[in-house]
Amino acid sequence: MKINSLTLTYLSKVSFASLNGSDKEVDNINPIKKITLANGEELPYVSSQALRRALRDRLAEMGWETSPINEASVKKGAAKTALNPTQFIDDDLFGYMDAAKGEKDGDKGTSNTRTSPVRVDALLALSKYQGDLDFATNYMGKDKGLDPNIFETEIHSGVYRGSILIELDRVGAGQGFEKAPLSNAEKAKRVLAFIDAFRTLWSSGRQSRFLADISPKFVAAALMRAKNPIFLESVSLDSKGTVNVADLNSVVSDYSKFVESHVFAAQNSIFSGDTEGVKSLADGFADIENWVKNYYAVA
């Protein structure tokens, strides 16, 4: 089996945040997205769509040209990008789909599709929502005699877990690259840029009042011979807030046939890096970057 993917499961910590808005049930309360467990507990989360948008935004901030958004090819269809993965990094990494009607009535339509080689899981809190609300009043119209607008926003504090899987063999190749795949140097450049975007990830949603850092502070990564996010459900904390590294080592052992290499890394100021086998974030990401360079055989 050949190496074909890179999986990253990570932890982010927020002390005071309202990360991803949900539908309103009450006019003056701004809720956050939550998933309900079998025991009735509600866990806040950031949707995968929001994370993909945040990653695109980070790539743009880093100077990468991202694909322009255009009207759909069919009436009432979803907006489409330029559908050009050769030119635009986001069309390559995040894929696209555009459907078009047949030229004549009764003709089958056509579709132009690229399945995303970057798979993104929601960023899910490891602790339940406790019902906390931030009370606020908007006095913008006070000088014009308008009544203040009173509202509340759901907030949460805790550690969040997310996962990403990158299909290394599909970046710059396959759908959308039928005429010619990208060079290995360009493929590596794009994956390394994505890793930098991930490493410095933040979301623009509700950040003017609730500034939060959702970049990884602990990461369990593996270079894989099978496209399987092996750490997806396995990164957890003990009662002291320490990562259960022994559990992660057992995952690596269970999947040793498919794991080419792995690394655990933590930011010492948040998650202790004293545990044997856990590197600093800088050293951990250096290993990940070297995996990418070696896979694409670039310096």
* Domain extent listing, the chain: 5-64+117-295
DSSP 298: -
Residue 277: per-residue pLDDT = 87
- CATH dotted code for 5-64+117-295: 3.30.70
Q: Under a CB-based contact definition with an 8 Å cutoff, are residues 272 and 244 in contact?
A: no
β-pair partners for 60:
none
pLDDT value, residue 21: 84
Range 113-126 burial, b when 16+ CB lie within 10 A, else e: ebebbbbbbbbbbe
Answer whether 22's CB lies under 8 Å from 282's CB. no
pLDDT of amino acid 28 = 78
Each residue's pLDDT, cut to its tens digit, for the chain (299 residues) gives 999 999 999 999 999 888 888 777 667 788 999 999 999 999 999 999 999 999 999 999 999 999 998 766 666 557 778 999 999 999 999 999 887 765 555 555 568 899 999 999 999 999 999 988 988 887 666 666 667 778 889 999 999 999 999 999 999 999 999 999 999 999 999 999 999 999 999 877 777 788 889 999 999 999 999 999 999 999 999 888 889 999 999 999 999 999 999 999 999 888 864 577 899 999 999 999 999 999 999 98
CA distances from 167 to 4, 19, 119, 172 (A): 6, 28, 8, 10
Residues sharing a CB contact under 8 Å with residue 244, sequence separation 6 or more, in sequence order: 235, 236, 237, 238
Cα separation, 154 vs 221, whole angstroms:
32
- Residues pairing with 154 in the sheet: 133
Q: Nearest CA to 9 among 247, 208, 276, 253?
A: 247
pLDDT of 18 reads 87
Q: Is 294 helix (H, G, I), strand (E, B) or coil?
A: helix
Structure tokens at 104: 């004549």
